[in-house]
Amino acid sequence: MKWCRFQVGEQTAYGLVEGETVTAVVGSPFEGYTVTPTTYPLSAVKLRVPVIPPTFYAAGINYRQHLIEVARQRGEEPRFPTQADVGYRANNALIATDEPIIIPRDASDEVQYEGELVVVIGKKCRRVSEAEALDYVLGYTIGNDVSERTWQRTDRTLWRAKNTDTFKPMGPWIVTGLDPAELHVRIILNGREVFRYAVADAIFSVQHYISRMSQYLTLYPGDVLWMGTDGASENLKDGDVIEIAIDGIGVLRNPVVREQ
């Protein structure tokens, strides 16, 4: 199933996408729903962020090549994480597919994409094993963890480096029934594929993260876990279009605008 959150006029609702058609539902995939007879052409609705998470988790550093690249840029030796410690991102920064990433006036030129698989929790879970972990997942979507690298180096926290308004594109929708270990992420800048990696190359798997997190905390329906990115990133500039594609899910596409 392909779950979207969409807007028509002033109304926002959850919907099921089949081909080029959206069928509106009453309710949500998290609390239960009823399918309505109302359908729209996909091209006639505005897609919204597919879920507003109660808590917005991010693995952060979870791929070796990305870590090596970040360390190189800082002139440091890479240090690989020895345990799956999760970080946080913030809801203010979320935007939907097709909405613009806005680079603030005082940001440096080092504003970069990070294409990621996003796990969407479907059921409350606490102290689950790795073998059980995926049973608590509703499905998967796509995230772009846009980052301002100078702020990332200088500030005490990642607040504006990672969470400036519009810096967290997520979408276009949530797809159920996938095996995350089978997925590949492609990053496409202005129509050119700049990087491709296998989700399975992660240092810590989706199952491992969920199981470990759940030993200390309760995961709730709608919580999201961004799995981190691999490889080096390039700078985004005014007029660019950045796409993150995962076969089996779709394409998260955002234009880039620098504030004048």
Name the site residues for a second copy (rule: CB under 8 A). Answer: 52, 54-55, 60-61, 81, 83, 85-88, 90-93, 104, 126, 155-157, 159-160, 163-165, 213, 216-220
Of 217 and 251, which CB lies nearer to a second copy in the complex structure? 217
Of 25 and 214, which CB lies nearer to a second copy in the complex structure? 214
Report, in Å, the least distance between residue 224 CB and a second copy.
Answer: 12
Bridging pattern class, strands 168-175 and 94-95: parallel
Of 2 and 162, which CB lies nearer to a second copy in the complex structure? 162
Report, in Å, the least distance between residue 202 CB and a second copy.
Answer: 15
One-letter amino acid at 46 equals: K
Report, in Å, the least distance between residue 171 CB and a second copy.
Answer: 18
Of 160 and 196, which CB lies nearer to a second copy in the complex structure? 160
Report, in Å, the least distance between residue 229 CB and a second copy.
Answer: 16
Report, in Å, the least distance between residue 197 CB and a second copy.
Answer: 21
Of 60 and 250, which CB lies nearer to a second copy in the complex structure? 60
The dihedral built from the CA positions of residue 156, 67, 165 and 94, taken in this order, carries a sign that is: negative
